[in-house]
A and B are shown apart, each in its own frame.
Chain A
């Protein structure tokens, strides 16, 4: 069993829809939770970053972390065709050098 599980999709939604992307994890030591966006043939880029439990909002994006359930989510409001990409959840523990553990990514397509 992988430390981080993520539904690979693909997920296809109409423009303007609310998108919900999720990951579950097994390592209770994870403290930092991130979402990276990866366009085709490009490297991942950091989209959202959360420490421990709670919500964080940035424009159309909201990240939620529920450590008691070991479950994290990314919500995209008013989705746009430019949001079409693969979304990778990522997590790391605190202390020591960074060793980020990634989910397998969910491919999202927003249809105009």
Chain B
């Protein structure tokens, strides 16, 4: 009965491969996000979708492509993986994407690129 769930929890892959991470929320929220947390615990927003529409796109390499088939799902596809992509990727959601709303995070996907 997890509110924000993402799969897989761990992902180990070789440089150059393509991989996807999936996220689903059952909170009925309109807005979903992808955050990246590096080895120093720095958490930075990558993308945000509101009702399937991309509203925030930070300076992320275009090897990263988010997709939102509906407002309960937000997936992240990464092409041509590089060593520097190793990090923990968190999916999050909030009711309407307003600046004063609480973020609900998933448990993260730890990506290791070898």
Residues of A within 8 A of B (CB): 8, 31-32, 36, 38, 41-46, 49, 51, 86, 88, 92-100, 102, 104-105, 107
User: Are A97 and B43 closer than 8 Å at their CB atoms?
Assistant: no
Contact yes or no, B50 A97, CB < 8 A: yes
Q: A32-B100, A95-B99, A98-B97 are in contact. Are A43 and B45 (CB under 8 A)?
A: no
Q: Which one of B44, B97, B108 lies within 8 Å of A41 (CB-CB)? A: B108
Q: B97–A42 contact, CB under 8 A? A: no
Complex formed: what's the CA distance from A107 to B39 in Å? 13
B31 within 8 A of partner (CB): yes
| B92 / chain A contacts, CB cutoff of 8 Å | 43
Chain B's interface size range is: 20 to 34
Docked Cα-Cα span, A45 to B101, in Å, equals: 13
Q: Which of B76-114 contact A (CB under 8 A)?
A: 90, 92, 94, 97-103, 105-108
A31 CA to B40 CA in the complex, in Å? Answer: 26
Cβ–Cβ contact B105 & A44, under 8 A: yes
Rounded to whole angstroms, the CA-CA distance of A53 and B83 in the bound complex is 42
Known: A86-B41, A98-B48. A32 touches B99 (CB 8 A): yes
Quick check: A44 and B43 within 8 Å, CB to CB? yes
Q: Is there contact, CB below 8 Å, between B102 and A46?
A: yes
Residues from chain B with Cβ under 8 Å of A44 in the complex = 43, 90, 103, 105
Contact A49 B102 (CB under 8 A): yes
**Inter-chain contact A97/B55, CB cutoff 8 Å:** yes
Residue from A38, A43, A94 with most neighbouring chain B CB atoms (10 Å): A43
Q: How far is the CA of A98 from the CA of B102 in the complex (A)?
A: 10
